[in-house]
Chain A
Amino acid sequence: MANTQQLEDITTQVRRDILRMVHKVNSGHPGGSLGCAEFFVTLYNEIMDRKEGFDMDGIGEDLFFLSNGHISPVYYSVLARSGYFPVEELNTFRLINSRLQGHPTTHENLPGIRIASGSLGQGLSVALGAAQAKKLNGCNHLIYSLHGDGELQEGQNWEAIMYAAGNKVDNIIATIDLNGQQIDGSTDTVLPMGSIKGKFEAFGWTVLEIEKGNNVDAILKGMAEAKSLTGKGKPVCVLLKTVMGNGVDFMMHTHAWHGKAPNDEQLAIGLAQNAETLGDY
């Protein structure tokens, strides 16, 4: 088991990866990626029970599905640093002929990816299908998924949320990245969604909140509790309160860095705030 310091060190390196990836190609989505760095690092290093290597069916291990595919930089960095593919390949992010497409895809056979995502609102349905397959296969492992809060404006989510409770899909922990921001501004100004907790509960889910979604200990504790709530006849939702752009001061608390890369000077400032820990790729 990794201790808190080790998880934080990995997170710092992942932040550097994110900044360097989007800076190199002057495109990509750093804000949401940075906000979810602690979650991904904790998930892949501590929370999920994973097999060595990668096969599509993933029988005998926990599986993860990313629905808000635009935060591919954090996904790629954590997959590479968890051994799915060489970290040097992060150099190819968004370049022609790369397996690291702008949004994640199975099309280029990148290990670790099980579904394409990017067009929003589709990931929960897919994760639920995989959860049903696990039950049919008698596999007791869990399905984890991550969704943006703005993404919940897509109607397909609510079909899936209704389905999951109605069919007692209780081997899934769906996490919502509650950063309160989307491309055009705060979620409250773009399309107010009211109480997301209340909505999930009204649809029959068990809901758990992690107030400090950028704190690895809080994530570990919250996700352990979420795990203990699975297998009880209800799907489990985690509301993860994060700060978009976390760890790079000028990118925090704003939607401005949703889909914008830092320039040379901004990169230098961001990297100075996150000293190398595991070694840059």
Chain B
Amino acid sequence: MKTYENQGSKDTRSGFGAGLTELGKTNENVVALCADLIGSLKMDDFKANHPERFFQVGIAEANMIGLAAGLTIGGKIPFTGTFANFSTGRVYDQIRQSVAYSDKNVKICASHAGLTLGEDGATHQILEDIGLMKMLPGMTVINPCDYNQTKAATIAIAEHHGPVYLRFGRPKVANFTPENQKFEIGKALHLVDGKDVTIVATGHLVWEALEAAKALNEKGISAEVINIHTIKPLDANAIIASVSKTKCIVTAEEHNHLGGLGESVARVLSQHKPTPQEFVATNDTFGESGTPAQLMEKYGLNADAIINACERVIKRK
């Protein structure tokens, strides 16, 4: 089976920062806003290189979203930066009315998503943001898997006209996708060929899915791995084609099973190709303090959890 090598672990938020730095050089309409988290969002370079295009708004996320919507009037492409919790739940109505309903070209860039934020605990560990954002008409939702892909996604969304939610994380994780890859919004990436089970993963869970596929291979189970970096619009054809071959599927995400990738996949399959599915996701719960690895184990979001889910779903075929 095809394997992938970790080129050296890096945080996805640094991929965002690197992408923003690149955009600063190449697209003069890109502006950035931050709500008092410049260091955490890795926006320091953009701020230093383009102070006139950088807006420090203070701890005032609602105002930040409105400012971003207004900046589009005049042709700017605003990238807002704060934690995922404060990028979504805190400002849902501002995004709904001033950005999504008003069809404004705002890129909502959200770090520290999910449990892997770690020790800060549940107040900051949003596990509902994908659901909140994918429900908004016209909103594109992207959750890239590693540093290189986050950088590529950041650059790509500047070229897409319309509101985008870009979700990434805090910890250093395996960096295994190609450097300087071209990022195509809405296009699933086929990582490993398999015939017994399909694993569709997003964000940090993609590497875990690859680790799971390796372990399953040693047990004689052939798993197909697909990286769904774009949850909306969902690449339904890629998913349907894969389960036509494998006849069962596991979805994996660092998010609540309610409202996440798994439900989007289930909707597609129930309409077009009913297929046994297992969900690797949190089970309608808040997170808690702990190290990222401890939390991912406790809440069942790692390679072991994916292996177990694959074995369960294969039996349901």
Contact = CB atoms under 8 A, between A and B. Distances in A.
Contacts of A133: 70-76
Contacts of B57: 159, 163
Nearest to A58: B73
B74 A130 contact: yes
A167 B52 CA distance: 12
A156 B63 CA distance: 6
Interface string A131-149: 1111011010000000000
Interface residues of A, number: 39
A116 B137 CA distance: 14
B63 A125 contact: yes
Interface residues on B, range: 20 to 34
A1 to B, nearest CB: 28
Contacts of A136: 31, 52-53, 74, 76
Given A125-B67, A129-B70, A117 B97 contact: yes
A131 B70 CA distance: 8
Contacts of A123: 66
Interface string A117-133: 11100111111111111
Given A57-B74, A106-B102, A116-B97, A162 B69 contact: no
A66 B94 CA distance: 15
A156 B69 contact: no
Contact of A162 (B55, B60, B73, B78): B60
Given A125-B65, A156-B94, A107 B73 contact: no
A160 B69 CA distance: 13
B184 interface: no
A105 B63 CA distance: 20
Interface string B93-111: 1101110011110000000
A167 B56 CA distance: 9
Nearest to B69: A126
B236 interface: no
B38 interface: no
Given A136-B31, A159-B63, A162-B58, A122 B98 contact: yes
26 contacts: A63-B73, A105-B101, A106-B101, A107-B103, A115-B70, A116-B101, A119-B96, A122-B62, A122-B66, A122-B97, A125-B63, A125-B64, A129-B69, A129-B70, A129-B73, A130-B73, A131-B70, A132-B71, A133-B71, A133-B75, A133-B76, A139-B74, A160-B66, A162-B60, A163-B63, A166-B58
Interface of B: 31, 52-53, 55, 57-58, 60, 62-76, 78, 93-94, 96-98, 101-104
